Structure 1
Amino acid sequence: MSKKVGIQGIKGSFHHLVVMDYYPNEVAVVEHMSFHELAEKLASNETNEAVMAIENSIAGSILPNYALIDEYNLSVIGEHYTPVNMNLMAVEGQEIKDIKKVFSHPMALLQCKEFFKKHPHIKLIEDADTAEAAKRISEEGKLKVAAVASPAAASMYGLEILAREIHTIKSNATRFLVLGTEMQKPNGEKLDKASLKFDLSSDRGSLVSVLNILRDSYLDMTKIQSLPIIDEPWKYSFFVDVTFERTQDFEKAIDVLKIMTEDLKILGIYKNKLS
């Protein structure tokens, strides 16, 4: 039986493209229209793994997704970076001047704001998913409306691309996490990146002390993100990504961090895709 992999959105979305790139063998793609549902179904073992966008090189982090990974005790077992390729698409036979409304995910619209400044006659409308917007326009055969989505979505749902690569920053990319319910095992592959979550006391310099431990243990911090702790005003959880050459350096740092932090959690140890 094929492995079930959950995605946010539908086939033709960027999450779907990541699945096709990441997995060497065919998998069964399970569509979810929200990140909350994606996490919930994985945690209840209705899917085996899931792909979740976590940050964009231009728009920044998707903060609620950090909280979902923590809330549902999910494990990061891999990562994948995919270039952003946004395209304006509509039912065949139209031109940009004919389009009155454009539907897409808010993140996609944000990444294309400079393009739409040149077309002020178009009203931008936020939607749940890039590919779902394309599919709906195609199925309804609507004129004067368009979607912003991937070339794969245009091909899959029979839409004509009116303008290609309309995203503002051409080097734009999105980082996706591959999630499971159990920690990744090496299986002969070098695992040299980890995602951590910890809380700190409000003592002065507590965060600096933690960062010094990472440095002194030869760990390279590639990401730090803070989120407020809901029931403890003015207190924060920190989500940190680190890379390392030697597993023993990482293990040494963890032993010290267990003493210095509150509620330390290893969210996952996996292969650094940028190494």
Structure 2
Amino acid sequence: MLGLSFCPTDLSELLKDGTKESHDRAENTQFVKDFLKGRIKKELFKLATVALYFTYSALEEEMDRNKDNPVFAPLYFPLELHRKEALIKDMKYFYGEDWKEKIQCSEATQHYVDRIHHVGQHEPELLVAHAYTRYMGDLSGGQVLKKVAQRALKLPSTDEGIQFYVFENVSNAQQFKQLYRARLNALDLDKSCKERIVEEANRAFRFNMQVFDELDKIGKSLTEEAQEGGLPVHDGRGDLRKCPYYADKLGKAAPGCPYHAAVAMAKQPLVQLILAACVAVAAGAAAWYMM
């Protein structure tokens, strides 16, 4: 017993144990499973990035609001963790300088955003759950997704389009996560508050899974020809002309479309072997949110 560095009341352990089932469910959503296998369409990856932009914009706005609040202040690491500026770079890469005019917040993402704002303004202690769920996942399984996306979508080796996954000011992710957990455990919270934070973390996972399911439904409507040219607006109910996620007009892929080249390359044994290796690594890293 003397060798243990934590106790059953440590918030980091309560969160890890209390969200394990949610971890497992998130890993087994169809969107995440397809992603890990390298079966991610470029337009869908762009939409996932848009969802992240709106989510982190809300999260970091509320974190800034509560940076001096003792129930959250010890977890305020803007230099090391904040993702909004990185996501803006990704938006510019995928959508161009006028990216703001080409994106909209999806229905599932809006529910997530609304909850984050409510928590930040009315129950700031629960903001801990949302920060933990997002950033610890980004520093863990998110690094696997970065490599899968870079290979599957043939993104530049200089990390354009995946700046979200690049933590320039975190030199050692494992050490930083240990620091973050230590800060979690040092928060002056009673048992009831800790239980509410765990409950909120599970709620955060549910919001993420709803976004995944939404993306999966949209992905099924994407055709190969529309991959590079964009799609009209779609509300998730079958009418592509009403999509809130697409601003580009429907277009056909030009000859020599990179997507078709990628499909052809994916059929080659060597590439299939690489993708299989990615899946194996991902399983070991326990996917998107595994700590």
Under a length normalisation based on structure 1, what TM-score does the superposition of the two structures give? 0.27
Q: RCO (CA 8 Å, sep 6+): is it higher in 1 or 2?
A: 2
Q: Based on CA coordinates, which of the two structures has the bigger radius of gyration?
A: 1
Under a length normalisation based on structure 2, what TM-score does the superposition of the two structures give? 0.26
